[in-house]
Amino acid sequence: MTMNKANFFVPFFVFLFIGSIFSRVASAGDQNALAASFVFGDSLVDAGNNNYLQTLSRANSPPNGIDFKPSRGNPTGRFTNGRTIADIVGEKLGQPSYAVPYLAPNASGEALLNGVNYASGGGGILNATGSVFVNRLGMDIQVDYFTITRKQFDKLLGKDKARDYIRKRSLFSIVIGSNDFLNNYLVPFVAAQARLTQTPEIFVDDMISHLRNQLKRLYELDARKFVVGNVAPIGCIPYQKSINQLNDKQCVDLANKLALQYNARLKDLLMVELKDSLKDAHFVYANVYDLFMDLIVNFKDYGFRTASEACCETRGRLAGILPCGPTSSLCTDRSKHVFWDAYHPSEAANLLIADKLLYGDSKFVTPFNLLHLRDL
C-alpha cells in the first residue's frame, strides 16, 4: 500500500505549519509550557516514520487519519483515526508544535526545537522484535538517532543552552514493549521453538536489561524528565480475540500475564533502581495496563458502544487480523469504539488515556502526573 509522495507531503507540511501557528498562540502566555517532546516507541505513538521505510507496517493510506484535523483527514502515518496519546499530551502541556518524525525530510534546523518523534510501528525493546515486518526502528536505533539530534541541538543553541533546554524544558516519552510480546515471543509458529528454550522470566529479564541500558543512554545525553508506559492488556485487543476465537468478554490469559510480569519489573526499574542511581532524573511510571483495562471493562460508562470490535476492520475470514486500510469496513461512529483497528486505540480512547496521565492520581500515574512532571 504505497502512497504517492506528493499526496502525502502536501498535507504533512500543511499540518505542521498550521499546528505550529495555533499552538504557539495558545501557549504564548504560559511560561511553563513544554518546549520539546521527544517520543520513542512503537505504532501507538508513531507519527509517520514508517512512511519512509520499506516495511509491512504502515498507516499511510486512508482511512487512517480521517479525524486528524491538521492534515484535513489525510493519512500522516499515525496508526489511528486522529491523534496519538503523545500528540495529545504534547498539546495539553503547551508544546508549540507536534514533534516531527525523525525520518521526515523537514526534520532539521529549528523544526527540531519542538521535539522529535522516533517511534516506529513494529519496533520493540529487543532488536529481533518486529522482524516479521521486514523493516522497523527498534529502541536501540531510536536512541542512536537521538544521539544525532542531540549534536544538532548543540549547533542550534550552543552547548550550555542546549543542555538546559533538554534537561529542563523537554519531556521524554517512551511507549514500547507490546511488540516484544505480540511480534516476537507470542508470534504463532515463528517463536514457538524459542519459547521452548526461553522461559517468560528469562525473556522479560532480557527486555528489562535492554531498556535499562537504553534509558541510561538517554540520561547520558541529558534526558531528565521521563514518562515510561507499561504494556497494555494486549490479550484483550481485537487481534488476540480473533486469532484465539474468543468472545467479547474474554481475553488471552498468557498475553496479559506476560504483560503484568513485565510491568512489575518495569515499575521496580523506574521507581527503585533508576530513581536511586540517577538522582537528578525524574521517572514517571504510566500505568497504561490499568487505564486500558478500565476502559475495556467499563466502556459503557465512558460513552463507548464496544471495546471488542474495531472501528476499521476487514470482514470475513481475516476479520480482526489485518490492519486498517483502503479495503477495510468503517464503523458509523468512530467516537463509540475503544479500538480503531485490531491493534490500536481510537482517538476517543487516546483522549481519555492522555487526560488520566496528565491530571490523574497515583492509581494510574506514579509518583505524580505529567503536568507536575513538566513543572519540575
Q: What is the total residue count of the chain?
A: 376
Whole-angstrom distance, CA of residue 281 vs CA of residue 163: 14
Confirm if 7 and 87 have CB atoms less than 8 A apart: no
Cell of 56: 509491512
Cα distances from 172 to residues 41, 43, 80, 175, 218, in angstroms, run 11, 17, 22, 10, 9
Confirm if 20 and 101 have CB atoms less than 8 A apart: no
Cell of 370: 505529567
Assess whether the previous peptide bond of 367 is cis (omega < 30° from 0). Answer: yes
Confirm if 230 and 177 have CB atoms less than 8 A apart: yes
171 sits in which H/E element: strand 170-175
Residue 201 identity: E
344 given a catalytic annotation = yes
**Which residue in 43, 57, 242, 328 is the catalytic one?**
43
**Which residue in 67, 173, 341, 346 is the catalytic one?**
341
| DSSP for 278-301, written as a single string | STT-EEEEE-HHHHHHHHHHTGGG
Cell of 215: 534509558
**Which residue in 42, 120, 180, 344 is the catalytic one?**
344
3-class secondary structure for 1-67? CCCCHHHHHHHHHHHHHHHHHHHHHHHCCCCCCCCEEEEEECCCCCCCHHHHCCCCCCCCCCCCCCC
Whole-angstrom distance, CA of residue 278 vs CA of residue 281: 6
Establish how many alpha carbons lie within 13 A of residue 48's alpha carbon, considering only the half-sphere containing its beta carbon: 29
By C-alpha distance, which of 325, 361, 343, 308 is closest to 43?
A: 343
Q: Give the residue numbers marked as catalytic.
A: 43, 341, 344
